[in-house]
Amino acid sequence: MPTEHSSAATPEQSAERRARQRWMSILAKAEFSDLDTLWNNLPSKPTWTVVRLPEIGMVMARGRAGGTGQRFNLGEVAVTRCAVQLEFGAVGFGYVMGRNRRHAELAAAVDAMLQTPSRRDALERAIIAPLTLRLDEKRLNRSRKAAATKVEFFTMVRGS
Amino acid sequence: MYVAVKGGDRAIENSQKLLDEERRGDPRVPELSLDQIREQMSLAVDRVMTEGSLYDPELAALAIKQARGDLVEAIFLLRAYRTTLPRFGVGEPIDTAKMAVRRRISATYKDLPGGQLLGASFDYTHRLLDFALAAGDERPVAEIAPEGVESGMQHVADILDHEGLIEREDPDDENQPVFDLTRESPRYPADRAARLQNLARGDEGWLLALGYSTQRGYGNNHPFAGEIRVGEVAVEFAPEELGFPIEIGEITVTECEMVNQFKGSAQVPPQFTRGYGLTFGHCERKAMGMALVDRALRARDFGEATEAPAQDEEFVMAHSDNVEASGFVQHLKLPHYVDFQAELVTVRALRRKAEAARAIADAAE
């Protein structure tokens, strides 16, 4: 999970920030088709104003020499960002790798809605939990296929 | 002359139409989709993203299609597109220790914690053409283990580090800027950040050949593939308006840590030294070449003789970029009519002078 930068935050602010980091991460990593389907199934959707139109740009990805040392610029990743404001409330941001404008706008809208306490639990159940499940499944599936290629050097000598 | 320019225009236009038609090939054969390229030519996509210096599989697939499979041309296309996009900022360094590993091998330890995971690899294939594939790919099915790979797999270098047997790679000062060759001109001597960025964008063939040259004795550095790992890592970025980092997605990367022979000093007893390679996607050969060349370029840091081409950082870095190299070599195709006329005048004058000198010599005999 992301690391914290600022140290001057109350425990509540820190918890709130971690919660937001988690859902923003899920919204960004989700397949657009999954997010889109879940979004379309939502019974009620608020209206919002687009504060910043979806914009395609880049973020420079960095590595470290030896994995832990001197930082260096590896190359850029394509990113789309968007900001929306709900009619009576929160501003939400979407930062999503790739060039799908709708993905960034939906991520921003859900981010804004999740900041609205009255909506949070329902949205967690309707969108974040299923997306998390899909991502975990995908990762586990890849990981189990990799695990099947593990070299077992000592299989031959094992036994009583 | 003006007329000649107009003639050139039409020829260029028609040449491009012909190019489009030849790219498409026989129209009776179904057209390639970007999805097909992305899914079935994925290693080409990975190379184009790495050397094109932009992680976007769809764009890399488009570049490959447009370039008719010419990967250096595709890299050029991606680099050109890259220049049209704004940069939102710089991400946090990726953490390869937290990689969701899909392949991980070490040539230095048989029984390393977490084990050797072959993943999907050409290494143990027989390199025999598969005519069954030519007849049509029956849906292949990978084996699935009951459990996944353990998470947070330790780097092999950390194992050696516990005994102090390998040089440490400590973080630099977070408040210092990191050299960026897309914004600044190269300076020599270059720091490691500049070298690694240059090599990460560098041509695979160039790094492969230079790495190979070090193995054959031109700047020998006795390498072992300490670890090669491939998998997914999160990209984190702290937007100004949020003030804290968020994950914006995941990228696949290949990492190679080469373990090389010893260096010690009065203060530090002999230790293994390191060379590092990192690429987008699965570019294993490139990551290994990069790690060999990174180590060779550290010769100066270790007080080693710098006699081999792979140890000459200006030579290596100034010629690693295939977009620049291709541009400069291929510019020779552009009209040089006036230059050549001047050379003709010169060579004729030289010949007249030589003939006159020979005539005088003949007369003197």
Based on the fold, state whether residues B202 and B62 are members of the same structural domain: no
Tell me which residue in B54, B96, B253 faces A76 most closely, judged by beta carbons. Answer: B54
Contact flag A66-B250 (C-beta cutoff 8 Å): no
| Interface predicted TM-score (ipTM) of this complex, two decimals | 0.93
Q: Looking at the domain assignment, is residue B140 inside a domain?
A: no
Taking the CA of residue A148 and the nearest CA in chain B, the distance in Å comes to 5
- Cβ of residue B88 closer than 8 Å to a chain A Cβ: yes
Q: Find where tokens 């968007």 sit.
A: A82
Average pLDDT over residues B128-134: 89
pLDDT in tens, A102-128: 999 999 999 999 999 999 999 999 999
Taking the CA of residue B55 and the nearest CA in chain A, the distance in Å comes to 4
Based on the fold, state whether residues B27 and B66 are members of the same structural domain: yes
Give chain B positions within 8 Å (CB) of A145.
102, 142-145
At residue A36, what is the residue type? D
Q: Looking at the domain assignment, is residue B112 inside a domain?
A: yes
Least confident range of A150-154, B84-88, B289-293: A150-154
What backbone torsions phi and psi does residue B69 show, to the nearest 5 degrees?
Answer: 85, 0
Task: Return the H-helix or E-strand segment holding B259.
Answer: strand B246-263
Average pLDDT, whole number, for chain B? 93
Give pLDDT, residue B6.
55
Q: Which of B360, B358, B328 is nearest to B72 (CA)?
A: B328
DSSP string of B141-186, one letter each residue = -----SS-PPSSPPPHHHHHHHTT-B-------TTS----TTTS--
Contact flag B86-A58 (C-beta cutoff 8 Å): yes
Outline where B236-336 has alpha helix (H): 284-297, 313-318, 322-330
Taking the CA of residue A27 and the nearest CA in chain B, the distance in Å comes to 9
Based on the fold, state whether residues B55 and B153 are members of the same structural domain: no
* C-beta contacts of A108-112 below 8 A and 24+ residues apart: A108/A82, A108/A83, A108/A84, A109/A45, A109/A46, A109/A48, A109/A84, A110/A23, A110/A27, A110/A35, A110/A39, A111/A20, A111/A23, A111/A24, A111/A27, A112/A48, A112/A84, A112/A85, A112/A86
Q: Is the pLDDT confidence value at B217 over 60?
A: yes
Q: Based on the number of CB atoms within 10 Å of its own CB, is B16 exposed (0-12), middle (13-18) or buried (19 or more)?
A: exposed
Strand order in the sheet with B100-105: B100-105, B224-237, B246-263, B271-280
Q: pLDDT confidence of B7, banded at 50, 70, 90?
A: low
Based on the fold, state whether residues B71 and B219 are members of the same structural domain: no
Residues of chain B with pLDDT > 70, as a percent, come to 98
Q: Based on the number of CB atoms within 10 Å of its own CB, is B270 exposed (0-12), middle (13-18) or buried (19 or more)?
A: exposed
Average pLDDT, whole number, for chain A? 92
Decide which of B4 and B296 is more confident: B296
What are the domain boundaries of chain A? 11-135
Q: How far apart are the first and last CA of chain A?
A: 43
Contact flag B92-A29 (C-beta cutoff 8 Å): no
**Residues forming a β-bridge with B97:** none
For helices B71-82 and B57-66, the axis angle rounded to 10 degrees is 130
Q: Is the pLDDT confidence value at B261 over 50?
A: yes
Based on the fold, state whether residues B76 and B199 are members of the same structural domain: no
Give pLDDT, residue A11.
86
Mutate to test the interface with A, among B96, B181, B246 (most CBs of A within 10 A): B246
Q: How many domains does chain B have?
A: 2
Alpha-carbon span B104 to B112, nearest angstrom:
10
3-state secondary structure string across chain A: CCCCCCCCCCHHHHHHHHHHHHHHHHHHHCCHHHHHHHHHCCCCCCCEEEEEEEEEEEEEEEEEHHHCCCEEEEEEEEEEEEEEEECCCCEEEEEEECCCHHHHHHHHHHHHHHCCHHHHHHHHHHHHHHHHHHHHHHHHHHHHHHHCCECCCCHHHCCC
Based on the fold, state whether residues B56 and B104 are members of the same structural domain: no
Q: Is the pLDDT confidence value at A99 over 50?
A: yes
B97, closest residue in chain A (CA to CA): A67
Based on the fold, state whether residues B191 and B286 are members of the same structural domain: yes
A96, closest residue in chain B (CA to CA): B248
- Quote the tokens at residue B333: 């195709």
Give pLDDT, residue B1.
37
Largest pairwise CA distance in chain B: 97
pLDDT in tens, B24-40: 999 999 999 999 999 99
Q: Is the pLDDT confidence value at B220 over 90?
A: no
Give chain A positions within 8 Å (CB) of B149.
143, 146-147, 150
Those of residues 56-75 in B touching chain A at CB distance below 8 A are 56, 58-59
Alpha-carbon span B233 to B230, nearest angstrom:
10
- The three-class DSSP label of residue B252 is strand
* Domain end call among B82, B108, B134: B82
Based on the fold, state whether residues B192 and B250 are members of the same structural domain: yes
Q: Is the pLDDT confidence value at B342 over 80?
A: yes
Contact flag A75-B196 (C-beta cutoff 8 Å): no
Q: Are B352 and B230 in contact (CB under 8 A)?
A: no
Q: Looking at the domain assignment, is residue B348 inside a domain?
A: no
Give pLDDT, residue B263.
83
Give chain B positions within 8 Å (CB) of A148.
142-145
Alpha-carbon span B313 to B302, nearest angstrom:
14
Give pLDDT, residue A89.
85
Torsion of CA A137, A143, A149, A151, to 10 degrees: -140
Q: Looking at the domain assignment, is residue B227 inside a domain?
A: yes
Give chain B positions within 8 Å (CB) of A99.
56, 58-59
Q: pLDDT confidence of A7, banded at 50, 70, 90?
A: low
Q: Is the pLDDT confidence value at A2 over 50?
A: no
Based on the fold, state whether residues B308 and B177 are members of the same structural domain: yes
Based on the fold, state whether residues B62 and B181 are members of the same structural domain: no
Q: Is the pLDDT confidence value at B87 over 90?
A: yes
Q: Is the pLDDT confidence value at B158 over 70?
A: yes
Q: Looking at the domain assignment, is residue B333 inside a domain?
A: no
Q: pLDDT confidence of B172, banded at 50, 70, 90?
A: very high
The residues near A110 (Cβ < 8 Å, ≥ 6 apart) are A23, A27, A35, A39, A92, A123, A127, A128
Residue B16 is part of which domain span? 2-82
Decide which of A11 and B250 is more confident: B250
CA B278, B282, B283, B287 torsion: positive or negative? positive
pLDDT in tens, B264-285: 877 888 999 999 999 999 999 9
Peptide bond into B189 cis (omega under 30): yes
Give chain A positions within 8 Å (CB) of B173.
none
